[in-house]
Structure 1
């Protein structure tokens, strides 16, 4: 599609951005609303599963669609992704319990994975690597904008409307995006020589599912050393080994192993994995600090996260332009990662709303500098006919990092909170309800659950039902819960910082190659090129690799 006129490319980008915004806003709007929704539906033990199932299904759909879109083109998959997302969002609003919520969010995840994989790859079809820097910045700005209005709007909805509208309010945007893609996006003929790797797709799915389920259940539903968890990890290893054998024998593998012989692809994907593991695993629990520890309502909780999104939007748009102008990208990753790390460390020691806002700004600045880089590095290091599968590999590692990060951080959070509460009670900071009037003790028992901190209206309602004599006891119990939760969150954020530190070390070893000014490869009238081991990259790569 590189040959299309500038005007046609712009109209296609409008369609792509509309589809991406629909998926992004429906993801960010639930962040501040989810604690309240969980408090209403019940099932805090399954809180991470609402996020994990979304990441799991989007991860699988992303990697499977990558190769298929190389064969059939991007258009049918973006349309299918929008349909899945609309259906999932519509059904989610009818959830009666946590299990229905998890199921319908899984359907949304399928749509999100398809949309994201196809959209980012379509930009690679439209523009050469040098110009992609600018558009990657624009697409990051779309995510940032959705992050600005999404959390705040989600908090406002659960404070002033029925929570179902969190999932329904942007359905018209999905319909508009579908119409735009259908009308504007060019159709690409199927590549007749390509075959579909059904067995590889099956065993890749059988690798991802037990692996991510194992991480999600470990430490929460089952012990890390339990038969169930060991069995899931063993099943993932067996499926992975079979998948690797299949990929070495099929003509058109769903995930070519030759991609990972390219050091640029491998390091970029590992960095994306660690960055998302640290970022998503820790950021998902920021509302717990704002709402649970500081007692802020969901509406104002969104205002606390807004500065991060605003700083990310501004910096990412500039970063994209700087990359396009210079053709260089490593310097921005090297600058962004330490700033992200500093922001995460600030989160670990924040003790006020203002410090939380400052940490958000710092983290957003680093995110805006570093995040646009790694899709460009992968796309610039492969042949145009591998664009879809290479982009999918990048999304796969990021999604897996986010999913595993959320699961591991969830385990760290639950374990730390449990230990902190046990220590507080053991040190005498707790309340012995056996020494309180039985009727009052029965009422106070509800305040021993940390979930109570996430539902301020219910907390205040129950507070007013207690006699004046019990108010000091209640205050002591709530303070104990908040201290335990705050300490647990410190552990979570420090764990995220450790992962970002490892990602920073990897970036140091990332080999930089000038971004190509054309999608064409050798023999197509493009720049001279020479393959690095396992993948074709430009000739100016070889000199620097």
Structure 2
């Protein structure tokens, strides 16, 4: 598709960006509203699962679609992804409990994984590596714009309308995106002689599922040393061994192991994994600080996160153009990731909304500089025939890192919160400031006990309503209990943000070992460039 006219390429990119925006806005619109939705449906202990299932299904879909789209082309998969996403979003709005919400978000995840894998790979089909920097920056800007609009709109909707409309309001956009892809995107003939690796796909999916379930349940539903968690990790290890054996024998492997003999591909994927583990694991809990600790409504919570998205949109667009102009990319990761680390350190010690805004701006600048780089490094290091599977491997490791990061940070969050609450109770008892619930009638005592649950902080209207129903003589006690909850939650979030910072720092160290090769000006590799790629594989 590189030989298409410039005008045709632009129209195809409009179609791709429309599909991407549909998926991205449906994800970001629920970010600030999710704590309230969880409070309405119940099941805070399953909060991370709403995110984890989405990441799990999108991760599996991403890696499977990579190889398939190399065989059949990108068009049918983008269309299928949009259909999955529309169905998932429609059903999510009918959820009556947390378990239905999780299941339907899983369907949305399948659609999102297919859309993202196909869209980013299609850019590689359309443009030479040198030009991809500009378009990667623009696609990052699409995510950034959805991050600006989504949280704010989501907060306003959850404050003023039924929560179901968060999932339904953009369904017409999905239909428009489907029509654009159907009419504008060229069809590619199937590659002859390529076979689908069913066995490899099955055991890769089983490996990912067992691994992520183990991390998601460890420390929350089950102890880390429990039979269930150890059994899941053991199953993941067994499935991985079987998968590796299958891939060595497969004629057309779903994830070619030879790909990882390329040191650039391998190191880029490791960096993406670690960086996303720290970043996603920490950022997913930012609304807990804004809404839970500071008591800000979901609407204004969106305003707090907006500066990060604006900074990312501006910086990623500029950096993408600079990469295209200079052909250099490593320097932007080296400069951007320390800025991200500074932003996360500010998050760890923030104690006010203005400081949270500063953290968002700093982090957004670093994110805009560093994030466009690692897709380019992978795509530039492989031949056009491997573009789909290489791009999907990059997204696989990023999604895997993000999912495991969310699960591990969730465990850190729950463990730290439990410890902080226990310490607060012991301190109150030691200083004689504890309250004797036996002095109250059973109904009032039960209501007052609710103020020991951190979930109360995430639904401010319900908290205020419950506060007003209790006797005036115990209002000072209620105020003290709410303040204790907020302090415990704040301290727990500090631990989470510091853990995320440490992981991003490790990723920064690895960036210095990433070898930079010139960005090609054509998808056709010269003999010299093929030798560079071969050397990369040998060095790896």
Coarse TM-score class (shorter-chain normalised): over 0.9
Please give the per-residue CA displacement for 1:180-231, whole angstroms capped at 9, x wherever unaligned.
0000000000001111111110110010000001000000000001000000
Which residue is equivalent to 2:395?
395
Measured in 2, the distance between the counterparts of 1:514 and 1:300 equals 45
Question: What is the Cα deviation at residue 437 of structure 1?
Answer: 2.2
CA distance 1:183–1:232, shift in 2 (3 Å): same
Q: 1:171, 1:536 → 2: CA distance? A: 44
Match of 1:278 in 2: 278
Secondary structure at 1:188's aligned position in 2? Answer: coil
2:423 equivalent to 1:419: no
Structure 2: gaps of 5 or more residues: none
Deviates more, 1:432-441 or 1:415-424: 432-441
Structure 2 CA distance for aligned equivalents of residues 251 and 70 of structure 1: 14
CA apart distance, 1:441:
2.3
- Partner-residue secondary structure (3-state), 1:529: helix
Asked if 1:451 corresponds to 2:452, the answer is no
| 1:383-434: CA deviation from partner (whole Å, max 9, x where unpaired) | 0000000000000000000000000000000000000000000011763333
Moved over 6 A (4+): 534-537
Aligned to 1:132: 132
2:491 maps to which of 487, 498, 506: 487
Count of residue correspondences: 536
How many Å separate the matches in 2 of 1:207 and 1:414?
A: 26
Q: Distance in 1 between matches of 2:165 and 2:311?
A: 28
Show the 5 A alignment for 1:158-173: 158-173=158-173
> The residue matched to 2:196 in structure 1 has which SS?
coil
2:243 is matched with which residue? 243
Give the Cα–Cα distance (whole angstroms) in 2 for the partners of residues 521 and 502 of structure 1: 33
For 1:108-507, list aligned pairs within 5 A: 108-428=108-428, 431-434=434-437, 436-438=439-441, 439-507=443-511
| 1:512 match: secondary structure | coil
- Report the secondary structure of 2:531's partner residue: strand
Residues 88-114 of structure 1: CA deviation (Å, up to 9, x unaligned): 000000000000000000000000000
Distance 1:536 1:73, change over 3 A: farther
For residue 428 of structure 1, give the secondary structure of its aligned residue in structure 2.
Answer: helix
Structure 1 position 265, deviation (Å): 0.4
Name the TM-score, length of structure 2 as normaliser. 0.98
Q: Is the 8 A contact 2:456 2:463 kept in 1?
A: yes
Q: CA deviation at 1:531?
A: 4.7
Structure 2: distance between partners of 1:376 and 1:122: 13
Alignment partners' CA distance in 2, 1:28 and 1:267: 29
- Decide whether the 8 Å contact of 1:55 with 1:403 is kept in 2: yes
Unmatched 5+ residue regions in structure 1? none
SS at match of 1:509: coil
> Cα–Cα, structure 1 residues 536 and 75, in superposed 2: closer, same or farther, change >3 Å?
farther
In 1: Cα distance, 2:440 partner to 2:6 partner: 77
CA distance in 1, matches of 2:530, 2:42: 58
Q: Distance in 2 between matches of 1:193 and 1:381?
A: 25
Deviations 1:37-79 (A, max 9, x none): 0000000000000000000000000000000000000000000
* Residues 10-89 of structure 1 mapped to structure 2, 5 A cutoff: 10-89=10-89
Q: CA deviation at 1:466?
A: 1.3
CA shift, 1:534, in A, is: 7.9
3-state DSSP of counterpart to 1:195: coil
Q: Quick one: distance in 1 between partners of 2:309 and 2:532?
A: 39
Distance 1:301 1:436, change over 3 A: farther
* Secondary structure of 2:393 counterpart: helix
Secondary structure of 2:428's partner? coil
Contact 1:259/1:534 (8 A) holds in 2: no
- Among 503, 508, 513, which residue is 1:509 paired with? 513
Please state if 1:6 is matched with 2:9: no
